[in-house]
Structure 1
Amino acid sequence: MKTIAMLMLLGVAAPAAAATTIDLRFIGEQRIPGGATFNGPVVGGLSGIDYDAATGRYKVIADDRSALSPARTYDFTLIFDAAGFTAATPVASTVLLQPNGTPYPLNQIDPEAIRFTPTGTLVYSSEGEATATSQQTPFIREMTADGRYVADYQLSTRYSPSLSGATGIRNNLAFESLTFSPDGTRLFTATENALAQDGPAATLTTGSPSRIIAFDTATRSAVAEFVYLNDPVAAAPNPAGQFTTNGLVELLALSSTEFIALERSFSVGTGYSVQLFHIDISNATNVIGIDSLSGANVTAATKTLLLDLDTLGITLDNLEGISFGPTLANGNRSLVLVSDNNFTPGLFTQFLAFEVSAAAVPEPASWAMMIAGFGIVGGALRRRKPVVLA
């Protein structure tokens, strides 16, 4: 298959040398039909994924608010190589436990993202809720491999939803993402769209300013925040006036300042549009001291299109999770995406596998050997210059 995406990178051995290219090549997909079960619970709502090199399995979190079964994760085995993708199979499940050691009751958690910590525990996010009848603050929580509570990350009250809806997270537009820096000293998450006090949600004509939060993993406290500008909604709904959305649903760190960002757009009657971006926060304003971005003069992260998944020629589902996978036999790394089917009858769960055809992506056991940034060469290659919010 022809190369479908290219990202210009600085040379690994000699940063001053001529730029080389990294390509993403689509390997294939696997689907799990809606309604499939494993050990009783329905398998679906797969919102976050991370690879465990020690076991060769993938940890996947289900976006179930304990409505169908207790909130949980799954272990999956994915069988693919450079020639094709042949199987995606759940092999274990783990119930998420509250600090008191019991499963989460109905609607007290909205699981979205999950990552292994450098020490072998896991962190996961809950998106919270912001409706007229329920205001739940999102959270990021650390757990053991068997689901037991370890600790919470500290979060500013600016993220707490309000009854008026004038401040805090918007409903279903909060923490969909988690990623650790290669050296393990920082954990990042982001809101899917703007906080209510920061600006509008994404529309057909305007994007939305998300906040990326950087936590110190030693203290589990936030040390910086940066603005990421989502694109407008990709396509008009059919019929007009129906539901639309676009937002930042996952991050995957390449360094302490650069990431792959997964944006997912949806419009009723039109379906999903999904894009991967390379983003860089190194020159973005640290807005941790700014409670409202409205009227603030700040510089957002730079953002460059890496891959438009609409070009793959397949039907896209609600893709929300991304992880590096194992090294392929030819020495190249792999990349995997997973979709959240929202437990909707008739919809499927989708896994996509890609080959990363350069060795600049870190092995799980050697993140510190990562190049300093996946730095994009040349101003003309930027999708947009740093944006000033007015």
Structure 2
Amino acid sequence: MMQKRVWRASFLGCLLVLSQWAMAARSEPATYPIKQLIYIGQSILPNATSFHHVPVGGLSGIDYDSQNHRWLMVSDDRALKGPARAYWASMSLSDTKVGPIRIIQQINLKQPDGSLYPNVAKFILQGQGSVPDLESIRLIPSHKGFRYTSEGDRKLGLNPFIRQARLDGDYVADIPIPNVIKLSRNRGFRDNLALEGSSFTPDGQHYFVSMEAPLVQDGPLPNTDHGARIRIFEYNHANELEKSFIYQLDPWPAAPGKGKSADNGVSEILAIDNQHLLVLERAGIEDDKGVYHDYIRIYQVDLTHAPTVPVTKMALSKDDQVVHKQLLLDLNSLPVRLDNIEGISFGPTLKDGSQSLVVISDNNFNAAEVTQVLAFKVRR
């Protein structure tokens, strides 16, 4: 009897310790490593820019190659104006100035069979391959290749994908996507609102991808009255899905004109370290005259003690908790006209030892929009 009492007491004691530990973990205050982003300046790539007679535009993702001091950019052209492609570019950056953007190489991206990606018309005609809608691109930790995401197309029956390529654009491998985002009649990704963001952690041990908007089964899109919940997925170094988090999108920052459109979503993410992300939220609000106004915010997210949901959970419930976020910078406070900002990357180290950061806009190959790079000094 005494042994049973001792065992029960020990068991209850363990439960109490575990309970207290769990409560402490939940109540642990969020920490944010970046204190401030200090604006340096901007550089504009002219809309008439072309490379080997192929127009340069639709730049939806950017990453920095610190070994070779160059920038990797991806175009979301759906193989209409040229092949699905990425670019190497040069752009100098100092504490006070951003140099011009110069395209130095085009990388044609290849499918698993070595062919170029088809556009919609060719896909419908031949029924082979996948129509690209490329949004995010990141160098792999070894710098011997890169990984890019595509949003898929519900109307064409095409799922989003994550692919790894060599530096010359040749296909290497597919990274498995979560089953919960795959196309199904009443669930899965929304068109043009899928795998918008991605980032490796600095040590290369983790890889994150983010949805732009909620899955069909996870609730409505944001509006002026409420935000929405989107999923962020974490992979380990073996490319296995390990965790998923819920991020709370803001409501629309302004009301659209009567009968006009608006949206808000996550356009990119960037890992600061293994436990912290930068999240780029972008809203586009159409006014009464049909002119779009862009609202861009950069948030910090702390994942240290963040609640997770199973990567296999098909639909979120109202009890699922979101991660903590903190506004780092409202880009609309800057003395510059903003365009459709879609990419974010850390850049070279500045003379004073500070890290730099840049964001880039996607001009949608539209004469009324611009490709702009805004640069910042990171203060920790």
Contact 1:34–1:343 (8 Å) recurs in 2: yes
What residue number does 1:94 align with? Answer: 107
What residue number does 1:255 align with? Answer: 273
Aligned equivalents of 2:133, 2:59: Cα separation in 1 = 12
Contact 1:155–1:221 (8 Å) recurs in 2: no
Aligned equivalents of 2:93, 2:207: Cα separation in 1 = 29
Q: Residue 97 of structure 1 aligns to which amino acid in structure 2? A: K
Contact 2:153–2:159 (8 Å) recurs in 1: yes
Q: Cα 1:289–1:160, aligned 2, differ >3 Å: closer, same or farther?
A: closer
| Aligned pairs for 1:344-359 within 5 A | 344-358=366-380
Deviation per CA, 1:53-77, whole angstroms, max 9, x where unpaired?
1110000000111011000001111
Contact 2:178–2:312 (8 Å) recurs in 1: no
What residue number does 1:54 align with? Answer: 67
Deviation per CA, 1:146-168, whole angstroms, max 9, x where unpaired?
00111111123321223x4x211
Q: Cα 1:101–1:71, aligned 2, differ >3 Å: closer, same or farther?
A: same
Deviation at 1:357, TM superposition (A): 3.0
Deviation at 1:289, TM superposition (A): 3.2
Aligned equivalents of 1:209, 1:169: Cα separation in 2 = 13
Q: Residue 237 of structure 1 aligns to which amino acid in structure 2? A: P
What residue number does 1:29 align with? Answer: 42
Q: Residue 126 of structure 1 aligns to which amino acid in structure 2? A: S
Q: Residue 251 of structure 2 aligns to which amino acid in structure 1? A: P
Deviation at 1:215, TM superposition (A): 1.2
What residue number does 1:343 align with? Answer: 365
Q: Residue 310 of structure 1 aligns to which amino acid in structure 2? A: N
What residue number does 2:189 align with? Answer: 169
What residue number does 1:148 align with? Answer: 170
Q: Cα 1:39–1:284, aligned 2, differ >3 Å: closer, same or farther?
A: same
What residue number does 1:271 align with? Answer: 293
Per the alignment, in what secondary structure is the counterpart of residue 197 of structure 1?
helix
| Aligned pairs for 1:188-337 within 5 A | 188-218=208-238, 220-238=239-257, 240-269=258-287, 270-282=292-304, 283-293=306-316, 295-337=317-359
How many correspondences in the alignment? 333
Deviation at 1:22, TM superposition (A): 2.9
Contact 2:178–2:311 (8 Å) recurs in 1: no
Aligned equivalents of 1:20, 1:114: Cα separation in 2 = 24
Q: Residue 275 of structure 2 aligns to which amino acid in structure 1? A: T
Deviation per CA, 1:172-209, whole angstroms, max 9, x where unpaired?
11111110122211110011010000111121211111
Per the alignment, in what secondary structure is the counterpart of residue 136 of structure 1?
coil
Q: Cα 1:110–1:330, aligned 2, differ >3 Å: closer, same or farther?
A: same
| Aligned pairs for 1:4-19 within 5 A | none
Aligned equivalents of 1:20, 1:354: Cα separation in 2 = 16
Per the alignment, in what secondary structure is the counterpart of residue 193 of structure 2?
coil
Deviation at 1:134, TM superposition (A): 2.0
**Where does structure 1 lack aligned partners over 5 or more consecutive residues?**
1-18, 359-390
RMSD: 1.5
Deviation at 1:286, TM superposition (A): 2.6
| Aligned pairs for 1:83-162 within 5 A | 83-107=96-120, 108-120=131-143, 121-130=145-154, 133-162=155-184
Deviation per CA, 1:252-304, whole angstroms, max 9, x where unpaired?
101222101000000113410000000122322233131001x3421111010
Aligned equivalents of 2:283, 2:264: Cα separation in 1 = 4
Contact 1:181–1:187 (8 Å) recurs in 2: yes
Aligned equivalents of 1:56, 1:352: Cα separation in 2 = 18
Aligned equivalents of 1:20, 1:296: Cα separation in 2 = 30
Q: Cα 1:354–1:111, aligned 2, differ >3 Å: closer, same or farther?
A: same
| Greater Rg by CA | 2
Contact 1:80–1:87 (8 Å) recurs in 2: no
Q: Cα 1:356–1:156, aligned 2, differ >3 Å: closer, same or farther?
A: closer
